[in-house]
Amino acid sequence: MGTRKKQETQKMAFSNTEVVFNNLFSLFTYLAVLVGVIVFALMAFLIIKYRERKNSQDPEDTPRLGRIPIVRGHGRNVLITVSLSTIILLALIIGSFAAVDTLLTPPNGTWCYGLYPGYGAQSPLNQDCPRIDVTGHQFYWEFSYPHALPHAPLYTEKYVFRVPKDATVVIDVTSADVFHDFGIIPFKIKTDAIPGRVNTIWFQPYQNGTYLIQCFELCGSGHYYMNATLIVMQVPQFQAWYNST
């Protein structure tokens, strides 16, 4: 799996989806840490400063038995809190929208350079670029590749999913039995595999290597081993493999 590889090429991402995730996750985390630190510092400071001491006395407005306590608190402070938070949250919403647009819409005229013979670099960008069908079964994944020849049967393989480096890979995910979820772990992308429905996601792998695919929805006794291997290969090797199928 990709752990050792990760160390070698720290800065290089595995896929476009990972880049999208990392950027957005960092944005969230910067803001989360900022807010968290402020809140915790404030809490700790107040608790220490105002803790009960030997000679300290109850504040004037201490609630006492026999009387409903006074109502206090400024609407203004609430407004400030809400406005500040709204600014932060708006940034997060905008960032999320941009990211999800990328995640869910394959680039215009799906560019499947190198994916299949006949769809070369020079060929026009083609909407009908063939997709790969991914089907979840209890408890394995099955990958069906369209054949270069029209109307030829799909080529189907279990457990192993091969794609060429840098290609735009569009996959249609579904299930043959129960609710599964198809996730390529290092690529930070997943979608549900639901019987009777097809969910489409896409990614562009940046590096050769093997990556762990797992099911992310409890689907029965074999759920924990319901995994597969994604192999990203150089284009010529992929074409050689593909032609051999």
Partner 1 sequence: MSPEQLPARIRRWLYTTNHKEIGILYLITSLFFFVAAGVLALTMRSQLSVPDNHLLSADLFNQFVTVHGLLMVFWVLSPFAFGFANYIIPLQIGARDLAFPRLNAMSYWFYLVSGAAMMMSFFFGGAPDLGWTLYSPQTSFKFTPTIGLNLGAAGLILIVVSITMSSVNFLVTMFKMRAPGMKLKHMPVFPWAILITIFMMLYAFPSFLAALLLLYVDRAFGTFYFSSIQGGALLWDNVFWFFGHPEVYIVLFPAIGVIADAISTFTRRPLYGSKYIIGSMIAAAIISFIVWGHHMFVTGIGLTSTKLYTVTTIAVSLPFDVMVIAMIETLVKARVRLKAAALFTLGAVALFVIGGITGVYLASVALDHALRGTYFVVAHFHYIMVGASIMGLIGGLYYWFPKMTGRMYNEGLAKIHFIFSFIGFNILYFPMFLLLDMPRRIATYAPSTGWAALNLMSTVGGFIFGLAQILLFVNLFASLRRGSISGPNPWEAWTLEWSLPSPPPAHDFDTIPAIAEDGTYHFGNSSGYPNGSGYPNGSKMGNGTVHSHLEGQSPWPVVVAFAAFIFFLGITIGQPSNPSVPVTFQPFWPLVLDGAILGVIALYGYSRERFSVHEETNVESWPFREVPNVKLGIWTFLGAEVIFFGVLIGAYFFVRTNSATWPAVGSLFEVRSGFAMTLVLLTSSLTAIMALVSAKVGSRNGLMASLFATFGLGVAFLYIKATEWISLGANGVFSVANGLPATSYFITTGVHGVHVFAGMLMTLYLLVNALKGRYLKGDYHAIEHFGLYWHFVDIVWVFLFPLFYLI
Site for partner 1 in 47-66 (CB under 8 A): 47, 50-52, 56-59, 61-66
Binding mask 143-182 for Cu ion (x = CB under 5 A): -------------------------------------x--
Residue-wise DSSP of 194-234: -BT--EEEEE-B-S-EEEEEEE-S--STTGGG-EEEEEEE-
Give the chain's largest Cα–Cα span.
90
- In terms of Cα–Cα distance, which of 140, 144, 146 is closest to 213? 140
Residue 142 binding partner per list partner 1, Cu ion, none, with a CB distance cut-off of 5 to 8 Å that depends on partner kind: none
Q: Is 156 left (phi over 0), alpha (psi -120 to 50) or beta?
A: beta
Instruction: Please select the residue that binds partner 1; options are 117, 195, 240, 243, rule is CB under 8 A.
Output: 195
Of 73 and 196, the one with the shorter C-beta distance to Cu ion is 196
- Near Cu ion in 209-238, by CB under 5 A: 215, 219, 223, 226
Binding of residue 7 to partner 1 (CB under 8 A): no
Binding of residue 148 to partner 1 (CB under 8 A): no
Rounded CA-CA distance 180/222 in Å is 12
Binding of residue 74 to partner 1 (CB under 8 A): yes
Binding of residue 19 to partner 1 (CB under 8 A): no
Task: Identify the sign of the CA torsion 86, 87, 90, 91.
Answer: negative
Instruction: Please select the residue that binds partner 1; options are 8, 72, 121, 151, rule is CB under 8 A.
Output: 72
Residue type, 106: P
- Shortest distance, position 35 Cβ to partner 1, whole Å: 7
Q: Which residues pair with 184 in a beta bridge?
A: 189, 213
- Shortest distance, position 231 Cβ to partner 1, whole Å: 16
